[in-house]
A and B are shown apart, each in its own frame.
Chain A
Amino acid sequence: MNDSVYNFDRIAETRAPSVYHDDISDLHFVPAPCQVACPVGTDVPSYLGYIWEEKWEQAFEAITATNPLSSICGRVCDAPCEPACRRAQSDGAVAIRNLKRIVMDKLGADFKPTPIPVSRKERVAIVGAGPAGLAAAQDLASHGMEVHVFEATDRPGGMVAWGIPGFRLPAERAREDIDRLMAKCPGIKLHLNTPLGEDGVTLDELKAGHDAVLLTIGAFKGKPMGIAGEDGNDKVVDGVGFLYRINAGERPTLPETVVVIGGGDVAMDACRSALRMPGCKNVKVVYRRGPDEIPARPDELHGAIAENIEFVYNTQQERIETTGNGLILHCVKTEMGAPGEDGRRRPVVVDGSDHGIECGMVIAAVGQKTESAHLADLGLMGRDRVATDWENMRTADAKVFAAGDGAFGGSTIVMAMNHGQRAAYYIRQMLDGVEAPIPYHTPYRTRRVPVAQDIMWEKFPRQEQDFHGLGAEPAAFPEIESTYSVEAARAEAARCYRCDAETGSNDYSVHNREDIFSMARTNPVDIRKNRAMLAKRVRNRSNPFPESRPATLDDLCFLPANLSRLVIDPYREACASNTDLMGKLDLPNPILVGGMDNAPDQVFNGTMAGVLSTTSAYVGVRAPGNGAQWIQILQPGATTASKQAAVAVFDSAIPADQWRRASEDQLLGVRLRNGADLSGAISAAFEVGCEVLLLDGAPGTGGWPELTGTPDINLLFETVMTLRQMKREEHIDLIWFGGARSGTDAAKLIAMGAKAVAFGVPTAMAAGGRIDGGTMVFSSDMAAGEIGAAVGNLLNAQIGEATMMARCTGKTKLHNLEPEDLRSITLATETATGIPLAGRTQPSAVSGIQRPESMGY
């Protein structure tokens, strides 16, 4: 992977100014390397996720949100995202550009944007309708300004329109972006055939009629090679000039052999265009460095090679000799020397390697420059571009800004758009009267598309677009590649690792992981980066346990067996879970079901089948009706226990003199809620001979009382302490109901003194229920048998989890768990349960916090 996206900026993440939608401060978001590499911050992972789901409109939105030239970019973007892709160094980067293309092919031409009306009085003039100018125009017009774009030629697009041949980018594709832009921003007025200068519009005129002027004049003048025989030779042309003619519609007949000099994207377009011209049979590309150094995008290079263009590497042009109808390009061989200032190794001439290459034409594609006599006269030009300050995109004239290739030299479409957006920001800040604006930073958004939960995700090999090369009629410029099929697009999108995805790990959240990633991409002697990372890492997280956090079962953990207790083999050794209530009711395990009284009949009956399958018991008002054990709850108002019930549990609000068992062998119990008079109710329970206390820790009332929030586990502690004070702990069994979610929760409750635990909401969820606000909604179409199986599965899983906790502590009986097997991790939970904080053997004493008496110590 390209380490460059882990540069200093990545550590010292600067947020985009607040006028932008930027998600960078989201604690669960760090932009993926592809998004960071994209100069306009495209939310690549989201649009790939949408493609997999075939949500084309959402993908279109993600693509076009910051990129007005998305259809263009879908075909010809330099795609710096791809070398940054974490899959690049294995079986190839995700073909992000091609995936953009299919989305734009589907929606790009016909999309009807909502127009943004002009809402401000300021007017801005932009000179040049290339990518930088158009991106700036969109940004300014989107903020309500009227924008006048002055274009020297007869069509908008700049280098896109004049520098890229139609076989790579059909003109209609470029036009659809511009049409969409103009439809979206009616405040943009395009003035074609209006060059900057006396023959069009002067800068003074622009300044007079507008509040600001942005110069995005491009770099259209090919640089000369500076070798003998070049000047005045009509068989030697420059690359951009050649492409300009081609894009104007010319199809000149060329000599049989054409040599293109240079290794950049202009050279690639020039060589491939030349080959398509009548008369031309061979094209050679002469490049002074080797194949590893050639700057052309790999796709273009491979395309050119596939079209039989010959690459002559390590060869440097020396002079051109004209021979009758032809040319001899005299060259020398080179080899790679020491790196120069730009870090690239410099070619060194090999002595005695002179040789000649015969050809009929030389196209020099060795760089471009900007020319404007008008601006030069005004003193705004630097050496070969408009003199511009990168920090604020201003020129020497306070009202005039500049951006794009014309200001910073030849670059890429997407980088030019970044320049345009950057300039637009500083223009807006100036117009808003902000003297010292917050520095611009590309905004990064995430649409939080969930990672596909699909078995085939990331498994496919790289998908290629079908390559057609020259085609039957090369000069007609048929497209070289066709767009993916939907299947291929989905398969390619599925190759994305989704390294933007957050996972629910506190210690290794995406922020922490990305910091570690950055550390792993830091040169040990890079003091600036090391300092920035230290500054970032040394800060503390916010308190994960603020006072508002209630005591909860989550905040208890088990102490495993190691040396001081014999480890058992949790995978294999048995752990008994049989549960008898006061020696009178024998249950195979303590995992019960409760609180399903308000479920629809089919759900209730299905659930009871599940209860029966695990020989569990049901705790509730309704009778299971299928022979499953029933622990009957008698609500206030009810008076007579059912003979069908194994246990009759009276609510403590029912007067104690009505607590009566229906038969001799029935167990008697009382239900206690928090806030009830515990010692009074317990004393009463003993008086009438109860064997069971049902502790109802559910926080609410109504049909699904567990849904209100966190159960009050202090009820269990208080009950146990009350019994202990009475010295009658062994004389009654406790059944817990309220907020138990897992076998682990059950094991904790058992360790704290419960004999059995009834599951309400989880059972309802297994039975197809969905939590909707404070109630359960059963809309699933599960048959009764499926419900029974699902409930049975859940109960079995809970038993497995509960016994696994016991095994980990070294217990071969679930009911041997005790408070001493637990530790709290928060003070609130310590207080509510009497379980000491992890790392301590006694409840702690931090000043100002009341400690309870320890449980079991």
Chain B
Amino acid sequence: MKRIDLSAISVREGNELLRKMAEQEDIIEVLNPDAQHHIGVGLTSPCTVKIRGSAGYFCGGLSDGARFEVDSNAGWGLGDNIYNGTVVVGGNAGAIAGVAIRGAEIVVKGNMGSRAGQVMKKGTLLCCGNANFMAGYMMYGGRIIILGDSGERVGEDMSAGDIYVAGKVNSLGSDAELIDLPADELDSIMAFLDKHEIGFKGSFQKIHNAGKKLRYATQEPQRRSLPFFKHSAEMTYWNEKIQEDVFVKSQIGRYRIRGYGTARALPHVSDIAFRKKIDPDRIESGVVDQVRMRTEIGGINGAEPLKLSMPVMVAPMSYGALSASTKRAIAIASGMSDIAENTGEGGMSDAQRGAAKQLIFQMLGGRLGWNIHDMKRADGLEIYISQGAKPGLGGQLMANKVTKELAEIRGIPEGIDLRSPSRHPDILGADDLVIKVEEFREATGYRLPVSIKLGAGRVRDDIKIAAKDGFDFIELDGMQGSTGAGSSEVIEYVGIPTLSAICEAMDALDEIEFRDKVQMVLMGGLRDGIDAVKALCLGADAVAFGSSAIIAGGCIACMQCHIGQCVTGIATQNPDHEDRYSPEQEALNIHRFFESVRWQIAAITNALGYDSVTQLSRDDLVALTPEAAAITGLPYEPEHRDETDAIAIKAS
């Protein structure tokens, strides 16, 4: 038996030592834990870790296969996201014990705090004492056994899984109901107690999902194409869109859902021009080699940065919203163009990992598909707070897209109408976020850059928090960002335009003198190299393309994303539709789109008189509309507008 004394070394050093020792030792003793956070985080070797005292936050979190025995108490997030393995706590556990576990056995011999087993997928959480309020909050599977009493609203908004309470059930949560305990389940509970040598005699009440919430009798009528927003001079207040909305809502009695991004016109980088006239005919064929575009993102605090061949990445888009074939095509294209791809919500597939040279792993509040192994094989980590299309709202995946395969990778029941939690169980404020980021770094050995994805809202304040919380880079997503499914009104009216977002973000960083201490990746309605250069001029370090990459790969905006019946096989999980998609061909198309973006970035940078994208600045831009001028503070010079007929371009 080996020993690690945390009074002599830091947790970071201790965890490194633990990982190394665990490769050879069966039992490792941790002395003087002193309730420090992150003990044992990221351990993936089978061994027993005996913690002689109390552990702080996330003890044993993000691990797989190990056994942790805590002599005294554990802080919140006990066993966070464990795949397999065991955690036994001799005393009490704090809030969200067993959060997001995917197969582990967690035994708390004393009491446990609130929201125990939140968003858990699989495994068993046993509490020998009493559980505080909302145990089993939003759980997707597995079981919680409470030998004492359960607090208020037990099983609140659980989607699946079982909760067994031997003591008193204080109150039931929303959409939870009490049922009789089937005999075979009692046998299974008793077997579990025997295995962990817990003596118990008594009976249980069972709580499960009642299945009443978020289920609708009337389907929303399926529509192809959105009616166009009518604008300004030709504005028709009671236009076709309004009429369609009213009609549909009067049939279904609830808000409408759709995919894609904001439909109406918003201030955009299109309302900004380059001060210097760009003459495409003067761009030389070798321009791509004449402009330095290589960009490193995320290395600012010492992590291994993403090395991009140009300041461009793929925006986060999930396997789920998109088909596996589409994710593969995008991954291949990102590799061919040597930029970074992003998993989006819902996990990483082997195909995607294999195809993408550089891959960011996105991690959301629902902990869907989030696990230590994929974190370790990622090239960057991203914590999702919100997205531009539907900030403040969680992800949404309609039932017919939640297939068996998808459910498996996400660890959720097949065929549920998935509405991802919009809040992380363990991030209720800026301070929690700091500790969470530290957990990621502990789990991955401080090797990977960690970013935060933010939908644009109160950007000025949010960016300051993100910057000060020590992220390596920020992914800022304006309200023009798209989604696979969301409330159409939220897509349209919540958030601020991408143009406003980047300007506020830069102001915020200047106010706290953080311009050089965090990098900014901008996304949301950016469509080409021209948009990209304008974003870079306004202060972004890189941009990300989502919808454009999909369109390059065949999307025709059939508006069936949310229903999952994408006609071209992109935003679907239906095999008949997915069969229509040819990943190799579309990968090549997406790659050529990125190369076209590269050419455009190089051409404009060169035409502006620079040889590196880092030389681009606000001074290269003027505003063409009063709104753009007011938002950006750029000079209002509408005379720079090129009013050339957008159609009749003569061949050069």
Q: Which residue of A lies closest to B225 (CB)?
A: A503
Confirm or deny: B457 has a beta carbon within 8 angstroms of a beta carbon on chain A: yes
> Could you tell me the distance in whole angstroms from the C-beta of A45 to the nearest C-beta in chain B?
11
Q: Which residue of A lies closest to B632 (CB)?
A: A839
Q: CB distance A743 to B255 under 8 Å? A: yes
**Which of B525, B530, B576, B631 is in CB contact (< 8 Å) with A838?**
B631
CA distance A341 to B598 in the complex (A): 30
Q: CB distance A741 to B238 under 8 Å? A: yes
User: Which residues of B from 229 to 256 have beta carbons under 8 Å from A?
Assistant: 229, 231-233, 235, 237-238, 241-243, 245-247, 249-255
Confirm or deny: B65 has a beta carbon within 8 angstroms of a beta carbon on chain A: no
Q: Which residue of A lies closest to B138 (CB)?
A: A572
Q: CB distance A793 to B271 under 8 Å? A: no
Binding stretch for chain A, among B187-195, B300-308, B311-319, B589-597: B589-597
> Could you tell me the distance in whole angstroms from the C-beta of A280 to the nearest C-beta in chain B?
42
Confirm or deny: A374 has a beta carbon within 8 angstroms of a beta carbon on chain B: no
Known: A520-B552, A532-B280, A838-B496. A545 touches B232 (CB 8 A): yes
CA distance A86 to B603 in the complex (A): 31
> Could you tell me the distance in whole angstroms from the C-beta of A258 to the nearest C-beta in chain B?
40
Q: CB distance A14 to B648 under 8 Å? A: yes
Q: Residue-by-residue, is B410-430 near A (CB-CB < 8 Å gives 1, otherwise 0)?
A: 000000000101110000111
Confirm or deny: B163 has a beta carbon within 8 angstroms of a beta carbon on chain A: no
Confirm or deny: A480 has a beta carbon within 8 angstroms of a beta carbon on chain B: no
CA distance A8 to B599 in the complex (A): 16
- Inside 8 A of A562's CB, which chain B residues have their CB? 385-386, 391-392, 454-455, 457-458, 462
Binding stretch for chain A, among B8-16, B49-57, B198-206, B619-627: B619-627
- Inside 8 A of A498's CB, which chain B residues have their CB? 224, 556, 558
Confirm or deny: B352 has a beta carbon within 8 angstroms of a beta carbon on chain A: no
**Which of A457, A762, A765, A771 is in CB contact (< 8 Å) with B224?**
A457
Confirm or deny: B553 has a beta carbon within 8 angstroms of a beta carbon on chain A: yes
Q: Which residue of B lies closest to A27 (CB)?
A: B646
- Inside 8 A of A809's CB, which chain B residues have their CB? 392, 494
Confirm or deny: A517 has a beta carbon within 8 angstroms of a beta carbon on chain B: yes
Known: A563-B385, A844-B630. A531 touches B283 (CB 8 A): yes
Q: CB distance A86 to B568 under 8 Å? A: yes
Confirm or deny: B155 has a beta carbon within 8 angstroms of a beta carbon on chain A: no
> Could you tell me the distance in whole angstroms from the C-beta of A403 to the nearest C-beta in chain B?
23
> Could you tell me the distance in whole angstroms from the C-beta of B529 to the nearest C-beta in chain A?
8
> Could you tell me the distance in whole angstroms from the C-beta of A559 to the nearest C-beta in chain B?
5
> Could you tell me the distance in whole angstroms from the C-beta of A94 to the nearest C-beta in chain B?
12
Q: Residue-by-residue, is A493-525 near B (CB-CB < 8 Å gives 1, otherwise 0)?
A: 000011101111111101111011101111111
Q: CB distance A535 to B280 under 8 Å? A: yes
Known: A537-B600, A791-B250. A544 touches B231 (CB 8 A): yes
Q: CB distance A839 to B229 under 8 Å? A: no
- Inside 8 A of B273's CB, which chain A residues have their CB? 540
CA distance A774 to B263 in the complex (A): 27
Confirm or deny: B645 has a beta carbon within 8 angstroms of a beta carbon on chain A: yes
Confirm or deny: B170 has a beta carbon within 8 angstroms of a beta carbon on chain A: no
- Grouping DSSP codes into helix (H, G, I), strand (E, B) and loop, the B interface class, with mixed when no group exceeds half, is loop
Q: CB distance B551 to A13 under 8 Å? A: no
- Inside 8 A of B252's CB, which chain A residues have their CB? 793, 797
Q: CB distance B238 to A761 under 8 Å? A: yes
Confirm or deny: B433 has a beta carbon within 8 angstroms of a beta carbon on chain A: yes
Q: Which residue of B lies closest to A557 (CB)?
A: B493
Confirm or deny: A485 has a beta carbon within 8 angstroms of a beta carbon on chain B: no
Known: A515-B528, A741-B242. A837 touches B630 (CB 8 A): yes
Known: A86-B554, A743-B255. A549 touches B235 (CB 8 A): yes
Confirm or deny: A662 has a beta carbon within 8 angstroms of a beta carbon on chain B: no
Confirm or deny: B334 has a beta carbon within 8 angstroms of a beta carbon on chain A: no
Confirm or deny: A447 has a beta carbon within 8 angstroms of a beta carbon on chain B: no
Confirm or deny: B642 has a beta carbon within 8 angstroms of a beta carbon on chain A: yes
Q: Residue-by-residue, is A546-562 near B (CB-CB < 8 Å gives 1, otherwise 0)?
A: 10111010101111111
Confirm or deny: B222 has a beta carbon within 8 angstroms of a beta carbon on chain A: yes
> Could you tell me the distance in whole angstroms from the C-beta of A36 to the nearest C-beta in chain B?
14
Q: CB distance A805 to B246 under 8 Å? A: no
Binding stretch for chain A, among B76-84, B120-128, B143-151, B579-587: B579-587
Q: CB distance A538 to B642 under 8 Å? A: yes
Q: CB distance A90 to B600 under 8 Å? A: no
CA distance A527 to B651 in the complex (A): 12
Q: CB distance B157 to A793 under 8 Å? A: no
Confirm or deny: B644 has a beta carbon within 8 angstroms of a beta carbon on chain A: yes
Residue from B262, B555, B600, B627 having most chain A Cβ neighbours under 10 A = B627
Q: Which residue of B lies closest to A544 (CB)?
A: B265
- Inside 8 A of A846's CB, which chain B residues have their CB? 626, 629-630, 636
- Inside 8 A of B260's CB, which chain A residues have their CB? 503, 505, 508
Q: CB distance A838 to B500 under 8 Å? A: yes
Q: Residue-by-residue, is A448-492 near B (CB-CB < 8 Å gives 1, otherwise 0)?
A: 001111010111000000000000000000000000000000000
Confirm or deny: B63 has a beta carbon within 8 angstroms of a beta carbon on chain A: no
> Could you tell me the distance in whole angstroms from the C-beta of B257 to the nearest C-beta in chain A?
11
Q: CB distance B461 to A563 under 8 Å? A: yes
Confirm or deny: B569 has a beta carbon within 8 angstroms of a beta carbon on chain A: yes
Confirm or deny: B227 has a beta carbon within 8 angstroms of a beta carbon on chain A: yes
CA distance A507 to B479 in the complex (A): 11
- Inside 8 A of A542's CB, which chain B residues have their CB? 643
Confirm or deny: A77 has a beta carbon within 8 angstroms of a beta carbon on chain B: no
CA distance A682 to B648 in the complex (A): 58
- Inside 8 A of B156's CB, which chain A residues have their CB? 572
CA distance A743 to B631 in the complex (A): 28
Q: Which residue of A lies closest to B214 (CB)?
A: A571
> Could you tell me the distance in whole angstroms from the C-beta of B367 to the nearest C-beta in chain A?
14
CA distance A742 to B494 in the complex (A): 14
Classify chain A: how many residues form its interface, as a range. 35 or more
Q: CB distance A563 to B454 under 8 Å? A: yes
Confirm or deny: A87 has a beta carbon within 8 angstroms of a beta carbon on chain B: yes
> Could you tell me the distance in whole angstroms from the C-beta of B559 to the nearest C-beta in chain A?
6
> Could you tell me the distance in whole angstroms from the C-beta of A620 to the nearest C-beta in chain B?
19
Known: A543-B625, A564-B458, A808-B393. A507 touches B423 (CB 8 A): no
- Inside 8 A of B86's CB, which chain A residues have their CB? none
Confirm or deny: B360 has a beta carbon within 8 angstroms of a beta carbon on chain A: no
Confirm or deny: B483 has a beta carbon within 8 angstroms of a beta carbon on chain A: no
Confirm or deny: A254 has a beta carbon within 8 angstroms of a beta carbon on chain B: no
- Inside 8 A of A570's CB, which chain B residues have their CB? 392-394, 422
Q: CB distance B589 to A497 under 8 Å? A: no
- Inside 8 A of B233's CB, which chain A residues have their CB? 546, 548-549
Q: CB distance A13 to B214 under 8 Å? A: no
CA distance A505 to B264 in the complex (A): 6
- Inside 8 A of B262's CB, which chain A residues have their CB? 505-507
Known: A91-B580, A499-B556, A535-B652. A543 touches B271 (CB 8 A): yes
CA distance A839 to B527 in the complex (A): 21
> Could you tell me the distance in whole angstroms from the C-beta of B174 to the nearest C-beta in chain A?
7
Q: Residue-by-residue, is A787-822 near B (CB-CB < 8 Å gives 1, otherwise 0)?
A: 000111110111011001101111000000000000
Q: CB distance A571 to B422 under 8 Å? A: yes
Confirm or deny: B618 has a beta carbon within 8 angstroms of a beta carbon on chain A: no
- Inside 8 A of A838's CB, which chain B residues have their CB? 267, 496-497, 500, 631
Q: Which residue of A lies closest to B396 (CB)?
A: A571
Confirm or deny: B557 has a beta carbon within 8 angstroms of a beta carbon on chain A: yes
Q: CB distance B490 to A808 under 8 Å? A: yes
CA distance A821 to B390 in the complex (A): 15
Q: CB distance B625 to A545 under 8 Å? A: yes
Q: CB distance A13 to B490 under 8 Å? A: no
CA distance A693 to B593 in the complex (A): 57
Confirm or deny: B114 has a beta carbon within 8 angstroms of a beta carbon on chain A: no
User: Which residues of B from 50 to 95 have beta carbons under 8 Å from A?
Assistant: none
CA distance A453 to B592 in the complex (A): 34
- Inside 8 A of B589's CB, which chain A residues have their CB? 520-521
A-B contact pairs, 21 of them (CB 8 A): A11-B649, A458-B558, A503-B225, A508-B547, A511-B646, A521-B589, A532-B651, A546-B232, A559-B458, A560-B457, A562-B462, A563-B466, A567-B422, A570-B394, A571-B394, A706-B238, A739-B237, A797-B252, A823-B496, A823-B500, A847-B636
User: Told that A520-B592, A540-B271, A567-B422 touch, could you supply 6 new A-B pairs with CB distance under 8 A?
Assistant: A520-B590, A534-B604, A541-B270, A563-B429, A563-B433, A563-B461
